[in-house]
Amino acid sequence: MSLKSVSLRKADRADWPAIKSLLLANQLPLDGAQAHLSTFVVAESGTEVVGVAGAEVYTRSC
């Protein structure tokens, strides 16, 4: 796979199984991830999700 074949896009509900699989495979926590998919992007090669990134948003009240 070359970098040219990978694109980024906002994650949506349909991506959750792939996101969950990637997080678990890399021993990352699932806590709150599904509820905050709006802060995630996925890396896609063809129709396959090959990567994921998420941001944890904090406010002063946290």
- Measured in whole angstroms, the distance separating CA 57 from the mean position of its chain's CA atoms is 15
**Residues 45 and 6 sit within 8 Å (Cβ to Cβ):** yes
Categorize the per-residue pLDDT at 3 as very low, low, confident or very high, splitting at 50, 70 and 90. Answer: low
Q: For residue 54, how many other CB atoms are within 10 A of its CB?
A: 18
pLDDT over threshold 60, residue 2: no
d(CA 41, CA 16): 11
pTM of structure: 0.83
**Residues 18 and 42 sit within 8 Å (Cβ to Cβ):** yes
Give the strand pairing for 6-10 and 40-45.
Answer: antiparallel
User: Which two three-digit tokens encode residue 28?
Assistant: 């990352």
